[in-house]
Amino acid sequence: MLSIVVPTLNERESLPELVRQTVEVVDASGLDTEMIFVDDGSTDGSWEAIEDLARQEPRVRGIRFRRNFGKAAALTAGLRAAHGDLILMMDADLQDDPAEIPALLAQLENGYDVVNGWKVRRLDPWHKVYPSKVFNALVSRLSGLKLHDHNCGLKVFRRDVAEELRLYGEMHRFIPVLAHARGFRVTEQPVHHRPRVHGRSKYGVKRFARGFLDLLTITFLTGFGQRPLHMLGGFGLLFFGLGILGLAYLSVLWLLMNAFHTIPESPIGTRPLLAYSVAATLLGFQAISLGLLAELIVANTGREADTYSIVQLTPAPPKPPTH
């Protein structure tokens, strides 16, 4: 069964056409499908449109939030309510083409766990396209997962992936990265992107800034989430070492001037190197201390289920007969 999760925010005009096109595609493919619309605090009557669609089409279900909680929360609610073995995410603005669903599902049959859409020809304004290219390049570089369009709203994945995802903030942008970090097989599929007809874009400068900060969070969590001392301690050792070297150099100078009198005397306390060395030593010590505290928190609050991902188990041995 395929569960299609559609986060919705003020997209009332596009919903009937989206359902019509999607139903045509899944009927032609013979897919057992459900559509879950999550109304993320819409104020334009989107919920009423979802209710009407649910009455007309039994495969449509709706979830309504009390207020706007964000796309990650909407996707989480939709994933929890989904019954399908396969989960497909798509936006409600009709820019994602439902006709691409069969091609995305076909990629899963090639052994992948996550298939991410790639809008090869993106029909958006330049101020969205070029920052998005920079963002995708940064994500690919820092995460090690080379994709052209990490933030494409059209993607499909297996239920195993959905059960291990924990989305919050703006983390929905990084579903392929999170899945890749846990060992799932990720690929991308070129998809058709359509121009916006109804509603308005939710993109803005604040969203780009939040996305960059979340990228730093994802990089830390996937690389050092279970071993924070390796990162903080690395910075700490670097600065601590530089500070100690600086202080050692000044100590040798002081001995040469005041103990052995081999070089002319000059005050050590007025040298900028002294202040820099002391600051670097203290900064390094603080970074190492923070790393140790982070390790203590991970050791006492971390769960084993968060540190690995099981793909298969051998069959359990038969139980001995009881008399």
Q: What's the chain's average pLDDT? A: 84
Within this chain, do residues 212 and 98 fall inside the same structural domain, yes or no? yes
Q: Same domain, yes or no, for 282 and 251?
A: yes
Q: Which amino acid is at 127?
A: H
* More confident: 245 or 315: 245
Confidence of residue 207 (pLDDT cuts 50, 70, 90): low
The b-or-e profile of 80-100 (16+ CB within 10 A means b, else e) is eebebebbbbbbbbbbbbbeb
Cβ pair 233, 241 in contact under 8 A:
no
How many structural domains is the chain composed of? 2
Structure tokens given for 153: 């709203």
Separation between Cα atoms, residue 106 and residue 216, nearest integer Å: 33
**41 and 176 part of one domain:** yes
- Its domain, for residue 297, covers 228-306
Instruction: Give yes or no: residues 190 and 243 share one domain.
Output: no
Number of H helices, E strands in the chain: 10, 7
* pTM for the full predicted model: 0.73
pLDDT tens digits along 258-290 = 888 888 888 888 889 999 999 999 999 999 899
Q: What is the pLDDT of residue 278?
A: 94
Closest CA to 87 of 163, 3, 146: 3
pLDDT at position 173 is: 84
Q: In the structure, what pLDDT confidence band is assigned to residue 124 with cuts at 50, 70 and 90?
A: low
Helix (H, G, I), strand (E, B) or coil at 129: helix
Percent of the chain with pLDDT over 90: 46
Task: Pick the last residue of a domain from 169, 201, 224.
Answer: 224
Q: Is the pLDDT score of 140 beyond 50?
A: yes
C-alpha span between 33 and 80 (Å, rounded): 16
What sign results for the dihedral spanned by CA atoms 298, 300, 302, 304?
Answer: positive
Residue 222 in this model has a pLDDT that exceeds 50: yes
Give which of 142, 139, 146, 147 is closest to 208, Cα–Cα.
139
Least Cα distance to 168 among 224, 217, 114, 223 occurs for 217
pLDDT at 320: 64
Residue 248, pLDDT score: 94
**The pLDDT of residue 203 is above 60:** no
pLDDT at residue number 265: 82
**Across residues 108-128, what is the average pLDDT?**
83
Q: CATH no. for residue 98?
A: 3.90.550.10
Which of 174, 200, 224 terminates a domain? The answer is 224
The tokens describing 311, both together, are: 């793909």
Judge whether 136 lies within some domain.
Answer: yes
219 with 235, same domain?
no
pLDDT, residue 144, reads 86
Judgement on whether residues 138 and 243 belong to the same structural domain of the protein: no
Residue 183 lies in a domain: yes
Q: Is residue 315 part of a domain?
A: no
Residues 93, 129 within the same domain: yes
In a domain, 312, yes or no: no
Are residues 268 and 218 part of one domain? Answer: no
Residue 147 or residue 305, greater confidence = 147
